[in-house]
Structures are given as structure tokens and as C-alpha cells.
Structure 1
Amino acid sequence: MAKLSRKWAVLCASTMMFGAALGVPTFAQAEESGNYVSFGDSIPSNPTILDVVMTKVHNKNPQVQWPTVQEGRCAQGEDNVGKRVAAKTGLSLSDYSCPGATAYTAPGPQDAIPHNQFSQQVDQALAEGALNANTKLVSVIIGVNDTYQPANQNRSQEERNNLYHAEVTNQLRRIKQAAPNAKVVMVGYPDETDGGNYTCATNLLGMTSHWYFPFVAYYQDEIRAQQREAAAAEGVPFLDMVDEINVSKANSGCLNIDPSQRYNAAIFDDGGLHNLAGHLTGPGNEYYAERISSYY
């Protein structure tokens, strides 16, 4: 038994040194430093379309394995915002983000994209013990997917706002109650317009196209206000990314600039640094991770 204990001690020490050499938090370090919990939709989860497809395949046929598919999780990219935040802070990652996730719209068979709801992500985190007294940082990015769900097509803006506020503030309270020592941050979306009522459908061959589509700006403003009000009601900071990623900041997918300078992509974009159309690029993931990590 003594020999086995010594071997186990050597193995643990070797594992810790190997992890440290790679810059990865060891189990002991993660336990000591605490964890970071990421909630939200495809902005933080950042999968590829293939990741999404293979998650569906795995759920129907568990024997089919895919590197990015974790049991009981939605599709998540290998280099998403959550993983970058964990690497920057040294915190262990508990990632519940899910492409298509909604704030208040219950999932249903009519949905354009199969998804879960913010409350279900919180339920899972609580059931798995990921929200606890040692949780140090929590980020929430949620709301955009409610705008196009069929269930909301006939709802007024006031009704949508009330539903968002009631549901999201309730989940923020649950998070804070379970993780009283955590810094909780509500995080917004980048500007998907050219600063007006035009959205950038293409950024190809050094040229961008600006399409008049005022609904994008309308719903973007609505979600931004919903997030700000919910955050204020629960006393958590709101990281307003419309204000930080836009045309005037010269870091938007609406601009004909080097792809490494674009933090979000156009719908059709040949920049090659993004996983999903209209989503964050690699530099955009890094920027989000830097900003979220600054609250730790």
C-alpha cells in the first residue's frame, strides 16, 4: 500500500508538472482557484456546422463519437469564448452554452434550430454542482434567438420585454444564490449593422454589400435594452458589445479590412476566421474573452 501511495504521488506530481508546462490549470490548481461558468447561445458556444450535425448524430446514435461532442452538452467549438476565458483566468471551465439557446421561449418541435433554454442551462449547472461557493466568474449571453422564434411572431415588443425581464432576472437570482462569491456578467452582442438600418450580407473578395434591412437594427436595439435592464435590476454589470464592436471602432465585419481586424463576420464572408455565418471570428472570440476575464 505504501509503494502504491508513493507511485500515486509521483504520478500526480508528474501530471501537475506536465499540465503546468502546457499552461493548462492542473486539477489541484483548478480546485483551488475555482471555476468559471459560461451560459448562452452560439456566440459563446461557437461550434462549426459540422459540430452541430455530429452532436445530433451522436444523440441519436451514442456509439458515434466526435471530438467536440461532450455527453449531455450541446455543440461547442474547440476554441470558443469559454475555453479562452478559462485559459486566461486559470479557472476550470463549466460550459453550458448551446447554439440556438433562448432566454424565454420554450423549445418546441416547430423551432428553426433545436435548442435549450437559459433556465435549462441553469438547471443543469445546479444539478451538476457547477454553481457553488467556489465559482468565481459567470457570463451570460442570451436573447437574440428569441426574436425569430415562431411563438414570438405575434407578441408585442412590450410582451417580449416583459417575458425576457421576468425570465432572465429570475435565472440571474438563482445563479447568484448558488454562487454567492462569483462575479456575474451580462454580455451583449456585436453590432450586426453598418451603424444604421443596413446589414452586411457579404464581405467577399475585398468588397462588402450593405442591404437595407431595418429589422436587424430594431431587434438588436431591443435585445440590447433587455440585457441592460435585466442586468441593472439584478445589480450585475452589462458588457455592451454593440458599443465595442462596430463600424466606428474599425473592427466590424461590415468593413473591408484585414480579416484579423474583424471581430465578427458578415453572413457570407471569405475571411476564413469564423465558424458560423454572422458570428464572432477568432479575433472576436479573443476580444470577448479578454473583456469577460477583466471582471475576474
Structure 2
Amino acid sequence: MGAALLSAGAALAPAGTAAASTTTTGGRVDYVALGDSYASAPLVPTQVDATCLRSSQNYPSLVARSQGATLTDVSCSGATTADMGASGTAGVPAQLDALSRGTDLVTVTIGGNDIGFSTVLGTCAQLTSTDPTGTPCRTHFTGTGTDQISDAIGRTAPKVAKVLRAVHHRAPHAEVVIVGYPDLFPDDGVGCTSKTVPLAMGDFAWVRDKEKELNAMLARQARRSGARYVNTYTPTIGHDLCKPTGERWIETFAPETPAAPVHPNATGESAMATAVESTLVRHTWHH
């Protein structure tokens, strides 16, 4: 299962030149969406870009429709903070190139790939059999006396800050919004016994806490840069990957609804869109 997740993660990397998805809804708001697979929504119908695995039902598309915005969506599965300012090795253009002085709204979801979260989960899954009721993953990543994932989050913080400075520089009049990651694992820290979630029972609380650390770092960087932070975690509590099909908004390691493993399905993307919209509802656009 771990190998399967790693393979799925590898499949999310860009594999060619991708074009931005541009949607015009008749509005005057110029909206640019930046980010990784939690923004692009790989495998969620309908896929509109085969390289970046971008969906027409991802949260940027839903936000654009609700706001009457013209959307330029350059979110791309596998993206890191480095892909914001530089062309990817597969020829995917720098995401920041989509911005201009006329941009009104920018959303950014980034950071998960910088800390290698998919690889971490793959490692966790592979270690489960060594201590199914214990914490083999936490032990693996913290056994040297330092928490490798917390360290990675700390190293990613200045990279996120750099991205936000670049966004403000290129789009000085835009409202900039960092969209955090939704609730992937049970918020109460209690594990689930589903075979499609192959984590040791004691590791659920640890991976939950690592995601919370990542979101807290993103929220801090948003505040420091004058951006807004959208908390998608709280409104998705109770719909994590341990919940049954129909109740879960995050798919398991072996998805039963179209989505990448441990990623939002269409309902999850809709919940993320609603969270973004709630921060924009009182905003008056200036032109």
C-alpha cells in the first residue's frame, strides 16, 4: 500500500507543458489561482489539463463562478514553492507569470510538497506492519531526538514568505489569500481500522498534528505578509478519510470516489471553495 501511495504521489508530478485554464464568467474580477494538487484536484471530474491534473470542479473554479470572476488557473499537481517562480523541469511555466498589475484576487495553496507529505505518508504505511498498534511512523521521524517533519515545516516557512512577497510585487493591488489544507485524518486523533487507511493506530494523532503544524505555519506567513488565511481544516472536521463513502470529503489511500489518494474529492473541493468564499463575501472589488 505504501508503494502504491508513493506511485500515486509520483504520478502527480508534472509531465509536460501545461496551459493555464482560463474561465470567463462575464465578471470584472481578475482572479489567478496558484498552488499544488489540493488546488488543482487531480482525478476529480472533469479533468481539463492532463499535465497538471487540473479539474473544472476544483475550488478555484467554484470560487470564480460564485464571484463572477475571470479565472486564470495555473495550479498544478506536484507543485512546490520553487515552481511558483521558476519553470518546472517538465516545461510547466512559472506560476507567478500568470500575475499582473491588473490581478484582483490571488489564491495560493502550497507547502505540502515542500515537506514531502505524500512521501511521509507512504513511509508511514510501509512501517505499519512493524507495530500496528503503536507509533512506528512517529518513531521513525522523531527517533533521532528531532522531529524531521517539524524541521521541514520550519525550513518551508521562509520559502512561503518569499512566494508571498513575489505575489504582492507582481500583483500589488490584489487581495492575496492563502488557502490551508483540509482535515485529512480524524481530528480526535483516534485511528480507523479500514484496510484502505494502512496507518498504525498510534500514528493517526501524530500525522494529524503534523498537518496542523503545517497549517499554523501558513497562517503565520499569511499574517506577516498582509495576506488572508483561509482555514479549510475546521469546516472539514468529521469528513476525514476514515469516514465512510458519502461522508468523507478526503479520499483514502485507495480512493472509492474519483480523486487522488489522500486528496479532496469533489465534495471536499466544494467545501474548500465555501471556506474561501466566506472570507470574500464582504469584499468590495475596486477597479
| TM tier, smaller | 0.5 to 0.7
Indicate the residue corresponding to 1:77 in structure 2: 55
Superposed CA offset, 1:70-121 (max 9, x none): 7xx6221232222212221121111121112223xx6xxxxxxxxxx33337
Indicate the residue corresponding to 2:65 in structure 1: 87
Q: Secondary structure of 1:217's partner?
A: helix
For normalisation by structure 1, the TM-score amounts to 0.64
Q: Do structure 1's residue 284 and structure 2's residue 268 form an aligned pair?
A: yes
Shift of 1:43: 0.8
State the alpha-carbon separation in 2 of the partners of residues 194 and 125 from structure 1.
Answer: 33
Indicate the residue corresponding to 1:55 in structure 2: none
1:54-203 map, 5 Å: 68-69=48-49, 74-103=52-81, 117-120=83-86, 124-127=94-97, 130-148=98-116, 156=148, 159-200=151-192, 202=194
Q: Residue 40 and residue 121 in structure 1: after superposition, are their counterparts in 2 closer, same or farther (change >3 A)?
A: farther
Indicate the residue corresponding to 1:58 in structure 2: none
Give the partner amino acid of 2:227: V
State the alpha-carbon separation in 1 of the partners of residues 273 and 223 from structure 2.
Answer: 22
Q: Secondary structure of 1:165's partner?
A: helix
State the alpha-carbon separation in 2 of the partners of residues 187 and 121 from structure 1.
Answer: 23
Q: Residue 283 and residue 233 in structure 1: after superposition, are their counterparts in 2 closer, same or farther (change >3 A)?
A: same
State the alpha-carbon separation in 2 of the partners of residues 203 and 159 from structure 1.
Answer: 30
Q: Residue 199 and residue 133 in structure 1: after superposition, are their counterparts in 2 closer, same or farther (change >3 A)?
A: farther
Greater relative CO, 1 or 2 (CA 8 Å, sep 6+) = 2
Q: 5+ unaligned residues in a row in structure 1: which ranges? A: 1-23, 52-66, 107-116
Shift of 1:186: 1.0
Shift of 1:169: 0.9
Indicate the residue corresponding to 1:268 in structure 2: 254
State the alpha-carbon separation in 2 of the partners of residues 231 and 188 from structure 1.
Answer: 10
Q: Do structure 1's residue 238 and structure 2's residue 208 form an aligned pair?
A: no
Shift of 1:182: 1.5
The answer to whether the 8 Å contact 1:133/1:181 transfers is yes
* Greater Rg by CA: 1
Shift of 1:148: 2.7
Q: Secondary structure of 2:234's partner?
A: coil
State the alpha-carbon separation in 2 of the partners of residues 275 and 171 from structure 1.
Answer: 27
The answer to whether the 8 Å contact 1:263/1:283 transfers is yes
Give the partner amino acid of 2:160: V
Shift of 1:198: 4.5
Q: Percent identity between the aligned chains?
A: 25
State the alpha-carbon separation in 1 of the partners of residues 85 and 96 from structure 2.
Answer: 10
Q: Residue 232 and residue 41 in structure 1: after superposition, are their counterparts in 2 closer, same or farther (change >3 A)?
A: same
Aligned with residue 225 of structure 1, among 212, 216, 221:
216
Give the partner amino acid of 2:249: Y
Give the partner amino acid of 1:124: A
Give the partner amino acid of 2:74: Y
The answer to whether the 8 Å contact 1:190/1:242 transfers is yes
State the alpha-carbon separation in 2 of the partners of residues 49 and 291 from structure 1.
Answer: 19
Q: Residue 199 and residue 99 in structure 1: after superposition, are their counterparts in 2 closer, same or farther (change >3 A)?
A: farther
Q: Secondary structure of 1:180's partner?
A: coil
Shift of 1:255: 2.4
State the alpha-carbon separation in 2 of the partners of residues 199 and 83 from structure 1.
Answer: 33
For normalisation by structure 2, the TM-score amounts to 0.66
The answer to whether the 8 Å contact 2:59/2:272 transfers is yes
